[in-house]
Amino acid sequence: MALTHSHGTDAAHGHDHPSGFWSKYIFSFDHKVIGVQYLILACIMGLIGAGLSVWFRTQLAWPGKAGMSPENYVMAVTMHGTIMIFFVVSLSLSSGLGNFCIPLQIGARDMAYPLLNMLSFWTIVPGAAIMVASFFVEGGGAAGGWTSYPPLSALPKAAPGSGTGQTLWLLAMAIFVVSFTLGGLNYVATILNLRARGMTLMRMPITIWTYFISAVLGLLSFPALTAAAIMLLLDRHGGTSFFLPSKLILSGQLQTNTGGTPLLFQHLFWFLGHPEVYILVLPAVGIAFDVLAANARRPVMGYKASVFALWAIAFLGMIVWGHHMFISGMNPYLGKYFSISTLIITAPFALLGVCLLGTLWRARIRFNTPMLFALGLISAVGTGGIGGLFLATATADLHFHDTYFVVGHFHLMIGVTSLMGTFAGIYYWFPKMFGRTMNETLGKLHFVGTMVGTFVVFTVQHFQGMGGMTRRYYEYVNEYVKPAAALNPLVTIFAFIAFGSQLIFLVNFFWSMFAGAKASKNPWEATTLEWTAESPAGHGNWNEPPVVRGDPYRYGEGADGKGWKLQTDA
């Protein structure tokens, strides 16, 4: 699959510049090419990550019929989580679309550090390769959950994947962090320094704000994960005991470690882990704002309020990580604090939601594929956010923690919301990437399948969680959980529908690259800067750099009944 994909893309452009093939399409400095490279890598990883979920969903619905052992199962859920979060959603939304649209939307010719940009892509490739390779080592891939809590992940004997598989997992994660940090630095530097003339901060599209904020969040929080990964590596191979307390007994053997605590790892992990949620969700919301405005033919509601809400979410997101640890054994007073602080986030989030919703007020909606995904995102982010109210409250978390309620909730947020934003962005910017549009019929089919599939899967999982159905179970053998577990076949069938719809997307994506209808410069009649460049935009984006003369969402303005104005128009 990998081979055909990358070969296919290259061929699409090969006939234009046959001589400069390697420098133009493989080791390119061009942010647009790098963005597309990330997207393609994310597609490949997405097939693996989502494929794993199809495998273990089959096991859950029809135990024993999927040819899956308990060892396979814990590995599959661990690797599904890791791959989807770090190598699919991060790569497609954050790195892929971010690279593509940031310079175009702020009027820059490229990223601030194009070489660094290329390096950050070619750093993540071996990272992804190592992650995939870990399936094939002895004992299989990591199997301690995507959170990799020690001691399970620290002691090779604790789980089958805690041998070489876990080491490779940590290595791949460290590489991911390096790549992501390089990318984040580039985003911050680019957005602060390379904006076109007239592009003041408060004239930036909300997409840019969200990429900026998520890059800042990433730079502040990822070092904690780096530290945790290095300490865990040392615990595994260097004889240290950061996370390992004295006198553990494993398979009847007394271990020699002394003096560490597993809680330290959890704090370090979630100090990144929680901001990571916003790193992935905010850009999706940002893209939705742009797409909504363009297709509702009106400015976003509450631009300033939204920017303020985004910063508030980012700040609060840094101080609430403990809500993942209510029952971890940390001091119960902290539970009260983290409940109160987490629920404060509902305020800026509600503000953001209202602005999304308000952008449809008195609108003139064009129901094209990007718009459908943006509309789906509004429902996903609202539904997912409401589940968050339950989990943010320590008292309710006593029942919901580590059940399918959590699984349903975070999939709606960092799964459905992020990917709906990503898809909206891909359908929306595809003309700018390849000079062609994606097929609308297939796009709408993809939307319906995704919407129906994911919403049924993850909403039903909330109810399974209410029934106390614990996550990461190979099979449900407890009596109390039978009614909830009886819904598993239903969930699995809709998971298949959701997965199948993504195949439609892949076909559409690669087919439209060569055979999509030719697109004009500004097919959506949108107002932001990227639509002043050619489709596809050449290296350097513009012959003459654009000069910005107004707000990003100039719909409802303009003379001669046109009803909209480019950001560059006087």
Site for other proteins in 324-383 (CB under 8 A): 327-329, 332, 335-336, 339-340, 343-344, 346-348, 350-351, 353-355, 357-358, 360-368, 372, 375, 378-379, 382-383
Question: What does the alpha-carbon distance between residue 328 and residue 343 come to, in Å, rounded to a whole number?
Answer: 19
Least spacing, CB of residue 547 vs other proteins, in Å: 25
The single residue among 476, 494, 505, 509 that binds other proteins, judged by CB under 8 A, is 476
Decide: 174 and 181 in contact? Cβ < 8 Å: no
Compute how many residues bind other proteins; rule: CB under 8 A: 114
Residue 440 in the binding site for other proteins (CB under 8 A):
yes
The single residue among 27, 113, 149, 511 that binds other proteins, judged by CB under 8 A, is 149
Least spacing, CB of residue 162 vs other proteins, in Å: 9
Task: Name residues contacting other proteins, limited to 484-543 (CB under 8 A).
Answer: 484, 517, 519, 523-525
Question: What does the alpha-carbon distance between residue 185 and residue 479 come to, in Å, rounded to a whole number?
Answer: 52
Amino acid in the structure at residue 394 = A
Task: Name residues contacting other proteins, limited to 42-71 (CB under 8 A).
Answer: 70-71
Site stretch for other proteins (CB under 8 A), options 33-41, 86-94, 99-107, 138-146:
138-146
Token pair 């594929």 is found at 369
Q: Please state the separation of Cα 383 from the chain's center in Å.
A: 18
Residue 161 tokens read as: 């994947």
Which burial class, exposed, middle or buried, applies to 329 when counting CB atoms under 10 A from its CB (0-12, 13-18, 19+)? exposed
Contact pattern from residue 187 through residue 226 relative to other proteins, giving x for each residue in contact according to CB under 8 A and a dash for the rest? ----------------------------------------
By beta-carbon proximity to other proteins, the closer residue of 22 and 480 is 480
- Compute CA distances 460 → 373, 408, 454, 469, 495, whole Å: 21, 8, 10, 12, 11
Least spacing, CB of residue 31 vs other proteins, in Å: 26
By beta-carbon proximity to other proteins, the closer residue of 197 and 364 is 364
The single residue among 49, 144, 184, 449 that binds other proteins, judged by CB under 8 A, is 144
Instruction: Give the three-class secondary structure for 316.
Output: helix
Contact pattern from residue 249 through residue 288 relative to other proteins, giving x for each residue in contact according to CB under 8 A and a dash for the rest? xxxx-x-----xxxx-------------------------
Question: What does the alpha-carbon distance between residue 94 and residue 137 come to, in Å, rounded to a whole number?
Answer: 30
DSSP class of residue 318 equals T
By beta-carbon proximity to other proteins, the closer residue of 193 and 478 is 478
The single residue among 178, 230, 248, 547 that binds other proteins, judged by CB under 8 A, is 248
Helix axes 206-237, 303-317, angle to 10 degrees: 10
Least spacing, CB of residue 233 vs other proteins, in Å: 18
Instruction: Give the three-class secondary structure for 492.
Output: helix
- Compute CA distances 501 → 49, 53, 204, 409, 448, whole Å: 15, 14, 34, 21, 8
Residue 560 in the binding site for other proteins (CB under 8 A):
no
By beta-carbon proximity to other proteins, the closer residue of 443 and 546 is 443
Residue 472 in the binding site for other proteins (CB under 8 A):
yes
By beta-carbon proximity to other proteins, the closer residue of 83 and 394 is 394
Token pair 């449900």 is found at 476
Question: What does the alpha-carbon distance between residue 80 and residue 560 come to, in Å, rounded to a whole number?
Answer: 53
Query: Could you count the other beta carbons within 10 Å of the beta carbon of residue 17?
Result: 11
Least spacing, CB of residue 553 vs other proteins, in Å: 10
By beta-carbon proximity to other proteins, the closer residue of 205 and 465 is 465
By beta-carbon proximity to other proteins, the closer residue of 483 and 540 is 483
Decide: 444 and 369 in contact? Cβ < 8 Å: yes
Query: Could you count the other beta carbons within 10 Å of the beta carbon of residue 556?
Result: 13
Question: What does the alpha-carbon distance between residue 176 and residue 433 come to, in Å, rounded to a whole number?
Answer: 25
Site stretch for other proteins (CB under 8 A), options 4-12, 102-110, 188-196, 554-562:
554-562
Residue 384 exposure: Cα atoms within 13 Å on the Cβ side: 26
Contact pattern from residue 388 through residue 427 relative to other proteins, giving x for each residue in contact according to CB under 8 A and a dash for the rest? -xx-xxxxx-xx-xxx------------------------
The single residue among 301, 374, 377, 537 that binds other proteins, judged by CB under 8 A, is 301
Nearest to 474 by CA among 461, 485, 465: 485
Least spacing, CB of residue 395 vs other proteins, in Å: 4
The single residue among 64, 67, 239, 247 that binds other proteins, judged by CB under 8 A, is 247
Phi and psi angles of residue 177, each rounded to the nearest 5 degrees, phi first: -65, -40
Site stretch for other proteins (CB under 8 A), options 10-18, 88-96, 147-155, 499-507:
147-155
Query: Could you count the other beta carbons within 10 Å of the beta carbon of residue 421?
Result: 33
Residue 544 tokens read as: 């003459």
The single residue among 35, 103, 151, 425 that binds other proteins, judged by CB under 8 A, is 151
Least spacing, CB of residue 378 vs other proteins, in Å: 6
Residue 280 tokens read as: 């992935």
Token pair 């002043």 is found at 532
The single residue among 3, 67, 239, 479 that binds other proteins, judged by CB under 8 A, is 479
Least spacing, CB of residue 290 vs other proteins, in Å: 16
Question: What does the alpha-carbon distance between residue 6 and residue 14 come to, in Å, rounded to a whole number?
Answer: 12
Least spacing, CB of residue 531 vs other proteins, in Å: 13
Least spacing, CB of residue 1 vs other proteins, in Å: 28
Listed as own residue / partner, the contacts of 455-459 with beta carbons closer than 8 Å and 24 or more positions apart are 455/379, 455/380, 455/383, 455/416, 456/490, 456/491, 456/494, 457/408, 457/411, 457/491, 457/494, 457/495, 457/498, 458/384, 458/407, 458/408, 458/409, 458/411, 458/412, 458/415, 458/416, 459/383, 459/408
Least spacing, CB of residue 320 vs other proteins, in Å: 13
Site stretch for other proteins (CB under 8 A), options 102-110, 322-330, 408-416, 535-543:
322-330
